[in-house]
Amino acid sequence: MHLVFFVISNWKGFLRPNFEQDLNVFLKQNKIDNITNIFAVPFVSLNMLNEVFSYHKKSIYTYSEQKNNPTAEDSNIFLSAQNSNYVGKNSTGNISSSMLKDLCTHILCGHSETRSEKYSLSEHAIDIITNNLIPIIFVENHLELYKLIENKSFIKSLSDKQINKLTVILEPKHYIGKASAAPIHELEEDFKQIKNLLKERNIEGKVCYGGSLNKENIWPYVDLFDGICFGRFSLSTDFFPTIYEISSYLKNNKYQNSNKSLDSNTYKNKQDLLNDNSLTKENHNTAKNLTNNKSQNTEARDK
Ligand SMILES: O=C(CO)[C@H](O)COP(=O)(O)O
């Protein structure tokens, strides 16, 4: 099976300096086939980035275009909007999903910085889906996703194609904008439950982690999750070099590890975790080892 890791970069309210040049170099050399990159950029950057992408013949395909263009499936670089208004779509200053459908393929849905008091994750997700775009769904925990996928209108609104493109980001809000990311052991239970929820419903979704990630601390999250979401780090000049590092790390390490037998020196990987019936104290201890084993990972990566 071809495994592809997701890297979502949320620029938030920043216009990334020199991004156009860096992206040009990245697209020119783009030989990365094991990472799907989704750039979630401010509204005002969507147009400019569409031009950069089409110059490199990596046009932003919407779902309707994908239906008629089989090569669109091969793309592994996508543009996302950071939000859309599903209530008061036509009010002054609002930007609806329908206005975005020719500019991007994804929309961030439920990011904690965009939720208002009356925010409804399911209504927003349905609005995005019905405009032929893919929602990147942010949840605080597995219960939030459970509520969403129990919602019959949500499930009904998904086409077969969209159902397998569901991307969920586990992002506890108290770990946003901090110096350290959420400790892995605090995420394991939610990760496992989200995976199970999707599996039970035959949804091939990706489960990613977001919150205070940077080039130093990502490795345990790369090991456990199907993808990661960078916030502030997306703006760093180290961002693109880190994508290459992740790609070679994945080639050298991660997918070989999924068959590794466990011993006291081997960290527990995603498959092991999912095979466990319940989270035991051992899981938590091994999760701690994940972080301690960072130097081990770095060595393997640099080989
Ligand atoms: O959007 C984010 C990435 O998931 C998120 O808000 C975290 O931002 P960061 O703490 O600046 O990485």
Predicted-assembly ipTM surpassing the 0.95 threshold:
yes
Determine the distance separating the centroid of ligand 1 and the alpha carbon of 181, expressed in angstroms.
Answer: 10
CB distance 235 to ligand 1 below 6 Å: no
pLDDT at 253: 77
Residue with the smallest CA separation from ligand 1 atom 3 is 231
Determine the distance separating the centroid of ligand 1 and the alpha carbon of 8, expressed in angstroms.
Answer: 10
Q: Total domain count for the chain? A: 1
pLDDT at 62: 62
DSSP the chain: ----EEEEEE-TT---TTHHHHHHHHHHH----SEEEEEEE-HHHHHHHHHHHHHTT-----HHHHHH-GGGGG--EEEEES----SSTTSTT---HHHHTTT-SEEEES-GGG--TT--HHHHHHHHHHTT-EEEEEESSHHHHHHHHH-HHHHHH--HHHHTT-EEEE--GGGTTSSSPPPHHHHHHHHHHHHHHHHHTT---EEEEESS--TTT-HHHHHHSSEEEESGGGGSTTHHHHHHHHHHHIIIIIHHHTTPPP-TTS---HHHHHH-SS--HHHHHHHHHHHHTHHHHHHHHH-
CB distance 83 to ligand 1 below 6 Å: no
Residue with the smallest CA separation from ligand 1 atom 1 is 231
pLDDT at 302: 40
Residue 214 tokens, joined: 């940077």
pLDDT at 59: 65
CATH number for 80:
3.20.20.70
Q: Examine residue 275 and state whether it is found in any structural domain, yes or no.
A: no
Determine the distance separating the centroid of ligand 1 and the alpha carbon of 11, expressed in angstroms.
Answer: 9
Determine the distance separating the centroid of ligand 1 and the alpha carbon of 236, expressed in angstroms.
Answer: 13
Q: Is 129 left (phi over 0), alpha (psi -120 to 50) or beta?
A: alpha
pLDDT in tens, the chain (303 residues): 346 899 999 999 998 888 888 888 888 886 788 999 999 999 999 988 888 887 777 666 665 565 556 555 567 888 999 999 999 888 999 999 999 988 998 999 999 999 999 999 999 999 999 998 999 999 999 999 999 999 999 989 988 777 878 899 999 999 999 999 999 999 999 999 999 999 998 888 899 999 999 999 999 999 999 999 999 999 999 999 999 999 999 998 765 554 333 233 333 456 666 665 544 334 334 333 433 444 444 444 444
Q: Domain limits at 130?
A: 5-236
Determine the distance separating the centroid of ligand 1 and the alpha carbon of 41, expressed in angstroms.
Answer: 13
Residues across the chain:
303
CA atoms of 122 and 119, how far apart (whole Å): 9
Residue with the smallest CA separation from ligand 1 atom 4 is 210
**Torsion angle of the four alpha carbons 162, 219, 32, 15, in this order, in degrees rounded to the nearest 10:** 80
Token pair 């990987």 in the structure block, residue: 269
Q: Examine residue 50 and state whether it is found in any structural domain, yes or no.
A: yes
Token pair 């206005």 in the structure block, residue: 99
Pocket test for ligand 1, best of 9, 11, 12, 180 (most atoms within 8 A of CB): 12
Is the pTM for the entire model greater than 0.95? no
| Contact call for residues 262 and 244 (beta carbons, < 8 A) | no
Q: Examine residue 157 and state whether it is found in any structural domain, yes or no.
A: yes
pLDDT at 26: 87
Please identify, by atom number, the ligand 1 atom nearest to the C-alpha of residue 112: 6
Name 248's bridge partners: none
pLDDT at 266: 33
pLDDT at 295: 42
Q: Examine residue 249 and state whether it is found in any structural domain, yes or no.
A: no
Determine the distance separating the centroid of ligand 1 and the alpha carbon of 32, expressed in angstroms.
Answer: 24
Determine the distance separating the centroid of ligand 1 and the alpha carbon of 241, expressed in angstroms.
Answer: 19
CA atoms of 73 and 16, how far apart (whole Å): 28
CB distance 80 to ligand 1 below 6 Å: no
CA atoms of 152 and 257, how far apart (whole Å): 37
